[in-house]
Amino acid sequence: MLGKKLVTAQKRGETRALCLGLGMVVCSMMMYFFIGITIVPFYTKSVWTTETMCKVLKVSIKDQAPCPKSDGSEDEDVFPYPCLQVRVNLTASGQEVMLYATEDTLDLNPKCSYVPDKSEKEAKAKIEKIASNFKSHQTVSCYYNPGGTQTNVIHSRLYPPKGLLFVFLWPTLMFTGGCLIIFLVKISQYVSVLSAWQ
């Protein structure tokens, strides 16, 4: 009687472990799919792939002007902020180009090097701080397009290769853990059947 209870409890435990392992594998697959349709296209679309050093030539802040957050935005998305313009010398080609904060900055407002979020209350102070940082550094790291389709450069990529690897790390660990649980349960079942047969 006690043996039957132990076997039943063991089978229940194996079933729960299998469900956990399969659940982890399914969740990791869903995470892979989500990353594949949201983050990977932004990474592959970016043409600024080569890192180099840029020499800061000119840092200026233009007067406040209402600048839209995106094309076709409504009136509530338009807010005034000082327009920071940073001109740099691209050491790879030796030409003077405009420096943008990220890939999105060029799409949001091609006239400004930095576009603050609407939620930033101290946008003016932050822009002045960024300008002073650029003025204090003669050279900064930047990314440019080696293909030449974009003559402008960006200061930092939204999705660098290391960041993309970090995003794929968690679903990979979950997938590996789920497969390991399923493998251990199957090994346990195989050993139980083998010992019962002997």
Residues 91 and 75 in one domain: yes
The whole-model pTM stands at: 0.64
The answer to the question of residue 42 being in a domain is no
The amino acid at residue 47 is: V
List, for residues 54-76, the tens digit of each pLDDT value: 888 888 887 765 555 444 444 44
The answer to the question of residue 65 being in a domain is yes
Cα distance between residue 73 and residue 52, in whole Å:
34
**How are beta strands 50-67 and 96-100 bridged, if at all?**
unpaired
Residues 79 and 166 in one domain: no
Residues 166 and 79 in one domain: no
The answer to the question of residue 76 being in a domain is yes
The answer to the question of residue 1 being in a domain is no
Domain interval for residue 139: 50-158
List, for residues 119-144, the tens digit of each pLDDT value: 666 777 888 888 888 888 888 888 88
Residues 186 and 137 in one domain: no
Residues 180 and 127 in one domain: no
How many residues in total does the chain contain? Answer: 198
Split into its structural domains, the chain has a count of: 2
Cα distance between residue 7 and residue 142, in whole Å:
64
Residues 169 and 179 in one domain: yes
